[in-house]
Structure 1
Amino acid sequence: MINKCKDQRVNVLNLYFDNVTMSQMEENVERFFEEARDENLFIVTANPEIADYATNHVRYQRLINQADYVVPDGTGIVMGAKMLKTPLKERVPGIELMEACIRLANRKQQRVYLLGSKEEIVQQATRQLQTRYPNVTFDFHHGYIDVNDAQIAHDIRQFNPDYIFVGMGYPRQEEWIERFVDHFERTVLMGVGGSLEVFSGSKKRAPKLFRKLNVEWVYRFLIDWKRAGRLKSIPVFLYKVMQQKYNKK
Structure 2
Amino acid sequence: MTENNSINKVDVLSVFFDNVTLMEMRNHIKRFFLADKTKNLFIVTANPEIVDYATENETYRKLINSADYVIPDGTGIVKAARILKTPLKTRVPGIELMEECLKIAHANKQKVFLLGAKNDVVQKAEQELSKKYPNINFDVHHGFFDLADEMVLKQVTSFDPDYVFVGMGYPRQEQWIERHAHRFNKTLFMGVGGSIEVLSGTKKRAPVLFRKLNLEWVYRLFIDWKRIGRIKAIPKFLYKVFKMRLYK
TM-score, structure 1 as length reference: 0.97
Does residue 9 of structure 2 align to residue 6 of structure 1?
no
Aligned pairs for 1:87-126 (under 5 A) are 87-126=87-126
TM-score, structure 2 as length reference: 0.97
In 1, Cα distance between equivalents of 2:4 and 2:154? 30
Q: Aligned-residue CA RMSD in angstroms?
A: 1.2
In 1, Cα distance between equivalents of 2:90 and 2:113? 28
Letter in 1 for 2:59: R
Match of 2:133 in 1: 133
Match of 1:162 in 2: 162
- Offset at residue 227 of structure 1 (A): 1.3
Question: Residues 43 and 191 of structure 1 are in contact (CA less than 8 Å); yes or no, is this contact kept in structure 2?
Answer: yes
Bigger drift between 77-86 and 147-156 goes to: 147-156
* Secondary structure, counterpart of 1:112 in structure 2: strand
Match of 1:55 in 2: 55
Match of 2:243 in 1: 243
Question: Residues 154 and 183 of structure 1 are in contact (CA less than 8 Å); yes or no, is this contact kept in structure 2?
Answer: no
In 1, Cα distance between equivalents of 2:36 and 2:49? 35
Does residue 85 of structure 2 align to residue 69 of structure 1?
no
- Offset at residue 7 of structure 1 (A): 1.3
1:19-61 CA-to-partner distances (Å, cap 9, x unmatched) read 0000000000000000121000000000000000011110000
Aligned pairs for 1:20-59 (under 5 A) are 20-59=20-59
In 2, Cα distance between equivalents of 1:4 and 1:111? 30
* Secondary structure, counterpart of 2:247 in structure 1: helix
In 1, Cα distance between equivalents of 2:177 and 2:63? 10
Match of 2:78 in 1: 78
In 1, Cα distance between equivalents of 2:46 and 2:5? 19
Bigger drift between 106-115 and 219-228 goes to: 219-228
1:180-203 CA-to-partner distances (Å, cap 9, x unmatched) read 000100000000000011011111
In 2, Cα distance between equivalents of 1:230 and 1:169? 12
In 2, Cα distance between equivalents of 1:108 and 1:61? 34
Q: What count of residue pairs does the alignment treat as equivalent?
A: 247
Match of 1:212 in 2: 212
In 2, Cα distance between equivalents of 1:230 and 1:190? 21
* Secondary structure, counterpart of 1:7 in structure 2: coil
Question: Residues 164 and 190 of structure 1 are in contact (CA less than 8 Å); yes or no, is this contact kept in structure 2?
Answer: yes
1:140-198 CA-to-partner distances (Å, cap 9, x unmatched) read 00001111123322221111100000000000000000000001000000000000110
Structure 2 unpaired stretches of 5+ = none
Does residue 186 of structure 2 align to residue 186 of structure 1?
yes
Identical-pair percentage: 58
In 2, Cα distance between equivalents of 1:25 and 1:4? 18
In 2, Cα distance between equivalents of 1:31 and 1:5? 24
In 1, Cα distance between equivalents of 2:34 and 2:4? 19
Question: Residues 147 and 176 of structure 2 are in contact (CA less than 8 Å); yes or no, is this contact kept in structure 1?
Answer: yes
Question: Residues 147 and 176 of structure 1 are in contact (CA less than 8 Å); yes or no, is this contact kept in structure 2?
Answer: yes
In 2, Cα distance between equivalents of 1:223 and 1:153? 34
